[in-house]
Chains A and B, each alone.
Chain A
Amino acid sequence: MMSVFANIEHTWLSVWVRESPSLLAFPFILYLHTLGLAMLAGVNVGLDIWLLSARDHVPAVRRGVYQVMWLGFGINAVSGLALLAAYPAKALTNWVFFTKLGLIAVAMWVLEVQKRELVAADRGGATVVNDRLRRLAMLSIALWGATVFAGRFLAYTHSILLASEGF
């Protein structure tokens, strides 16, 4: 497995992201990852807080907001893959990385369930935010919080940085 990681580390993308002195390489890709976080997790958490604070109003469907979140997801997926290409062994030998991926998958699933619930409540003419929606909102906040913690802890819990430099 380490030889696969070492091969990835020698690709032009990996070398450019990791070693280029340009601010558009590693620093800007890292920034895009944070921007994507704000667009996806941030807006999702904003919606969750709104759902939890709403007392007597069920919102209509907000397609534009979901488009912003999916754009954030796309930015995070692309920037995440670039960061993974730069340090594959660092991430793929760390269980925290897989925990982060699992948390993101569950959070995205909760986002979709929440969206369907909102549409159903809107069509049904509900006048209050139901308990299921509130529970989903709380779960979503907890999942994104845990994802952020897992993401930050990646920098402090890895045991291998580069497979090609030995470990």
Chain B
Amino acid sequence: MWESVWLEWFFDPIIHWLVRTPLSEFVMGYRWVWPISESLHFCALTVLAGTVGLFDLRILGLAKGISPRTLHSTLRWGFVGFGVSLLTGVMFISGQPDQYFYNNAFKLKVVFLFLMGANAALFYWREFACVRELGPHDDAPTSTKWVAGASLFFLAAVMLCGRMLTFFRPPYG
């Protein structure tokens, strides 16, 4: 009870502001903006999952023959994919903010996105220097494999929460 009162106090002004923005009007005002944005969101997810996933698979030992350093260069496209996902995600939120702010699947998705980011930061802080030196057929250290495994898990969890958004939506008010 108190939790919902606090949430409404916090989120409602943001929701009222968001639905009056030009971006919200653009997203909700044209029939094909939402479907095209959704398609772009999924295309970007495919690029993100593909580049990050392939790199993680190589670290885990499934793509031997490819040097991790050269594969790492493709991650810039993963960042582009993340950027497009973020942009289209902001469009969805601005279009129907109440459907996201009061949605537990969305909250969990944000948590997993932060965990994914923290895991990536851990990789660059502790593991990247070692990975850079690996040859095409070298095995990655066990600690790096744990980070790569966690990356794949968080990616799958983000996708799961994203897919569950529809089924945890609050009633339209």
Interface of A toward B, CB cutoff 8 Å? 23, 27, 30-31, 34-35, 37-39, 41-47, 49-50, 53-54, 57, 59-62, 64-65, 67-68, 144-145, 148-149, 151-153, 155-156
Contact = CB atoms under 8 A, between A and B. Distances in A.
B87 interface: no
A62 B66 contact: yes
Interface of chain A: mostly helix, strand, loop or mixed: helix
B54 A43 contact: yes
A149 B43 contact: yes
Contact of B46 (A42, A47, A62, A153): A42
Interface residues of B, number: 38
Contacts of A145: 43, 46
Contacts of A47: 50, 54
B64 interface: yes
Given A38-B155, A64-B62, A153-B35, A49 B53 contact: no
9 contacts: A23-B167, A27-B167, A31-B159, A42-B46, A45-B50, A46-B74, A49-B47, A49-B50, A64-B62
A152 B62 CA distance: 31
B102 interface: no
Nearest to A65: B63
Contacts of A152: 35, 38-39, 42
A56 B50 CA distance: 22
A75 to B, nearest CB: 12
B33 to A, nearest CB: 11
